[in-house]
């Protein structure tokens, strides 16, 4: 059947009665019918197997937990259930749609934007190509896309298989890792240098002070006073550096967060009043507590307040808002300002040591990197939300001390006893 040999039909007759032509013709017809019948059965079997194969493949695509599409001429011919979950369209509505409709943007490999330390100009480093896909609700995600062509056995292309993976989180984690590795490396370097410089600086300052006790000419006095002032300023920078480089030592004790915030605010109340900054305080009434080094946590809040003051210089509306909030085993300390805010380029780099947009003498670029290190040492995080000309909100998030307010009182009572 169909040019294939399916087998042999053997019919025997007694030697003395040879086949006549009619008999031969009948047998030939019979063999043709038999082969057709066999062929039909075999065809059915092949089709059944093909269907089973198809079913297996379809099931496999169904269970894959990331989107897989089969396209013909950019039209979606097949979409697995994971595509519906990821993109928010029912499979039925994905079919027949142009795949390009799901693509928000494709940015080819491009230079990285950021500020150089000197002139705030944009420097160039390469970023890999980035595909962004759009969901039904308008949100976007970074997609890793793999495309393979479908070809017939003769090699003619008739479609493509596109498989997509949401790598938004991968990107964020890699960025986070890159950042913390950099911080550790810089921390070690800085600690070494700072220690080396600290000793001579202390001597310079001490001897300048001694000199000032001697009778000096007016001009000499002025020079020595300058030496003293400048070496003290350098000492302060070194102290910041050492604070930044300090390894995460064990948290020290329970901290009443509301009290700490109020105390820190009092430290700045004079400056805040002079700069005519309105202050709003919104403490959580549950009196949240954290475990840690109160002085270092205070340093963070102080840095955030100082930055807020700087950011609101020359702004018509100047409101500083501090709030504390206990939520889900975490304590959030928020510092918001109505200052000039910052661009995305600044936001990307502001936790880097020595990154500053302020003139020399005003900013060291260490405040936020020190704060970031302190947050990490306390198993916490420091994050920012900001928009240009509207203001910024920094959030210090720390693990709550269980039993918050109660345990603080117990601790105090314990101390008293
Ligand atoms: P410094 O204050 O010495 O410049 P920081 O590490 O404290 O260093 O801050 C780094 C940079 O981040 C600042 O120079 C500024 O550009 C930006 N920045 C920090 N806080 C704010 C804020 N509240 N509003 C706007 N920009 C800010
Ligand atoms: Mg600062």
pLDDT, averaged per 10 consecutive residues of the chain (417 residues), comes to: 82 81 87 88 88 87 90 91 94 93 83 46 54 92 90 88 88 73 74 84 93 93 94 83 60 89 87 93 95 88 94 95 95 97 92 85 81 89 95 97 57 41
Half-sphere exposure of 18 (CA within 13 A, CB side): 2
> Closest Cα to atom 17, ligand 1: which residue?
350
Closest-approaching ligand to the CA atom of 306: 2
| Token pair in block for residue 113 | 């934007």
Q: Are the C-beta atoms of residues 312 and 339 closer than 8 Å to each other?
A: yes
Pocket test for ligand 1, best of 349, 356, 361 (most atoms within 8 A of CB): 356
Residues listed for the chain: 417
With a 6 Å cutoff on the Cβ, whether 392 touches ligand 1 is yes
370 Cα nearest atom in ligand 1: 6
The CB-side HSE value for 123 (13 A sphere, CA atoms) comes to: 10
Ligand 1 close to Cβ of residue 51 (< 6 A): no
Please give the number of the atom of ligand 1 that sits closest to the Cα of 364: 3
Secondary-structure breakdown of the chain: helix, strand, coil percentages, each rounded to the nearest 5: 50, 25, 30
Cα 166 to Cα 136: distance, rounded to the nearest angstrom: 15
Q: Does the CB atom of residue 353 touch ligand 1 within 6 A?
A: no
Report which bound ligand comes closest to the CA of 392: 1
| pLDDT at residue 124, rounded to an integer | 42
Whether the CA torsion 191, 192, 193, 196 is positive or negative: it is positive
- 306 C-alpha to center of ligand 2: Å? 6
Is there a contact between 277 and 372 (Cβ–Cβ < 8 Å)?
no
Structure tokens at 117: 């330390």
Rounded Cα distance between 201 and 231, Å, is 6
Rounded-to-integer distance, Cα 348 and Cα 127, Å: 14
- Tokens representing 211 are 């000199």
CB of 342 sitting under 6 A from ligand 1? yes
Query: Which one of 317, 350, 386 would you pick to mutate in the ligand 1 pocket, going by the greatest count of ligand atoms within 8 A of its CB?
Result: 350
Helix, strand, or coil here: 152? Answer: coil
- pTM to 2 decimal places: 0.52
Is the Cβ–Cβ distance between 382 and 271 less than 8 Å?
A: no
């Amino acid at each position: 059947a169909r040019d294939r040999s399916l087998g042999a039909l053997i019919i025997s007759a007694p030697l003395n009665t040879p086949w006549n032509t009619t008999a031969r013709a009948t047998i030939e017809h019979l063999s043709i019918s038999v082969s057709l019948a066999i062929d039909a059965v075999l065809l059915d079997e092949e089709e059944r197997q093909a269907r089973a194969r198809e079913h297996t493949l379809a099931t496999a695509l169904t269970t894959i937990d990331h989107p897989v599409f089969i396209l013909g001429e950019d039209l979606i011919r097949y979409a697995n259930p994971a595509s519906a979950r990821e993109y928010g369209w029912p499979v039925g509505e994905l079919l027949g749609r142009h795949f390009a409709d799901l693509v928000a943007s494709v940015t080819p490999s491009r230079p990285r934007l950021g500020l150089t330390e000197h002139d705030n100009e944009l420097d160039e480093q390469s970023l890999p190509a980035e595909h962004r896909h759009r969901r039904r609700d308008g949100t976007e995600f970074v997609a890793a896309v793999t495309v393979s062509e479908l070809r017939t056995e003769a090699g003619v292309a008739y479609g493509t298989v596109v498989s997509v993976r949401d790598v938004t989180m991968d990107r964020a984690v890699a960025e986070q890792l890159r950042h913390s590795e950099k911080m550790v490396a810089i921390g070690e370097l800085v600690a070494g240098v700072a220690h080396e410089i600290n000793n001579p600086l202390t001597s310079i300052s001490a001897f300048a002070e001694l000199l000032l006790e001697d009778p000096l000419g007016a001009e000499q006095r002025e020079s020595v006073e300058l030496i003293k002032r400048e070496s003290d300023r350098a000492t302060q920078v070194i102290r910041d550096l050492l604070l930044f480089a300090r390894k995460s030592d064990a948290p020290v004790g329970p901290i009443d967060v509301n009290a700490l915030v109020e105390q820190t605010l009092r430290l700045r109340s004079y400056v805040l009043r002079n700069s005519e900054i309105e202050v709003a305080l919104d403490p959580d009434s549950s009196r949240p507590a954290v475990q840690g080094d109160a002085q270092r946590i205070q340093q963070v809040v102080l840095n955030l307040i100082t930055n807020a003051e700087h950011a609101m210089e020359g702004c018509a509306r100047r409101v500083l808002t501090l709030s504390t909030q206990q939520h889900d085993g975490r304590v959030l300390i928020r510092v918001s300002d109505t200052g000039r805010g910052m661009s995305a380029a600044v936001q990307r780099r502001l936790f880097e040591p020595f990154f500053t947009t302020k003139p020399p003498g005003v900013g060291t670029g260490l405040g936020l990197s020190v704060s970031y290190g302190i947050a990490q040492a306390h198993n916490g995080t420091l994050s920012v939300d900001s928009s240009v000309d509207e203001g910024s909100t920094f959030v210090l998030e720390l693990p709550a001390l269980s039993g918050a307010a109660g345990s603080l009182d117990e601790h105090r009572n314990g101390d008293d006893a």
